[in-house]
A = this chain, B = another copy of it.
């Protein structure tokens, strides 16, 4: 029994620390200026010793990438409406709703700001969902666009509006992105 390493034992201290630290990151990112988001402030908010945080995560960038990956992993269900257009419209609308959540935007901004790997932590799972939608269309006998083309056409404008242009993505506009891609 004692052969299970402590940092993977479910329900163990290490699992609780991870949950507390992830929660602390989410709270601090949502409420504080970026200057206050440091390993020590995160440790204090999580109620753990700073060395515990430094021992477990190499850097703030590493920790934020883990929190973002965990947050965006499987948060949106891949739809199955029967058609590629229907699937993409449903999925694009769900991503747009997610990107209208101020807490999601704050986590994305902080993760991007923490280092070069942050961006992909905010997009990898979305690209995987898109790949699954396109793969299903292929299994229906269709010829969908490739995943990079679809990501450029859908995630490009969605993320640009949310992070750079500060404009909300309305549902009609999001549907228009899908139409333009499939045209």
A residues with a Cβ closer than 8 A to B are 33-35, 38-39, 59-61, 105-106, 109-116, 118-120, 122-123, 127, 148, 151-153, 155-161, 163-167, 177, 180, 183
Contacts and interface: CB of A to CB of B under 8 A. Distances in A.
Contacts of A34: 60-61, 113-115
Decide if the interface of chain A is mainly helix, strand, loop or mixed.
helix
Nearest to A111: B113
Nearest to A121: B164
Contacts of A39: 35
Contacts of A158: 156
B155 A120 contact: no
B33 A120 contact: no
A38 B41 CA distance: 14
